[in-house]
């Protein structure tokens, strides 16, 4: 039994040594991983530059949208003023415009009436003649 105790102690010492070595290796790996995570100054500057460029692009898009909205507002204002000026035309002017437009319409309507009457008469006469010759004998 005297020999077993030193052998067991030696095995325990070896196991503890291996365990300590593994812990030291894990700590070293963790340190290296942390060093890799920390970007170099040049990398950080590059990332910041990219972020700034992206921000500038977004700001330019926002400014463009604002400009479009201002143009739309100006167009809406112009159309509103035009509508208001058209509404200011008094009733007499509206009637004068309506009468001016109505005269050509009345002339066309009379002309169209007579043209339709003559056309209808000839079509009716043609069908009467066809009916007479086909079935009237």
Q: How does DSSP assign 70-97, residue by residue?
A: HHHHHHHHHHHHHHHHHHTS-HHHHHHH
Same domain assignment for residues 33 and 53: no
Same domain assignment for residues 54 and 65: yes
**Coil, helix or strand for 56?**
helix
- Residue 126 belongs to domain spanning: 91-137
Same domain assignment for residues 95 and 62: no
pLDDT values of the chain reduced to their tens digit, one per residue, 137 residues: 556 666 677 778 888 888 888 888 888 888 888 776 666 778 788 888 988 888 888 888 888 888 888 888 888 899 888 888 777 777 667 777 777 777 666 677 777 888 888 999 999 988 888 888 887 55
Our count of domains for the chain comes to 3
* Token pair recorded at residue 101: 């437009």
State the Cα angle at 114 between 109 and 117, rounded to 5°: 120
């Amino acid at each position: 039994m005297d020999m077993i105790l030193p052998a067991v102690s030696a095995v325990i010492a070896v196991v503890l040594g291996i365990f300590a070595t593994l812990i030291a290796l894990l700590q070293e790996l963790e340190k290296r991983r942390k060093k890799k995570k920390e970007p170099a100054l040049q990398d950080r500057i590059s990332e910041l530059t990219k972020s700034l460029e992206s921000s500038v692009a977004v700001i330019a898009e926002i400014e463009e949208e604002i400009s479009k909205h201002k143009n739309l507002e100006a167009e809406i204002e112009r159309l509103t003023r035009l509508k208001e000026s058209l509404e200011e035309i008094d009733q007499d002017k509206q009637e004068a415009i309506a009468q001016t437009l109505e005269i050509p319409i009345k002339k066309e309507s009379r002309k169209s009436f007579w043209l339709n009457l003559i056309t209808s008469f000839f079509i009716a006469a043609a069908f009467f003649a066809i009916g007479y010759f086909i079935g009237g004998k």
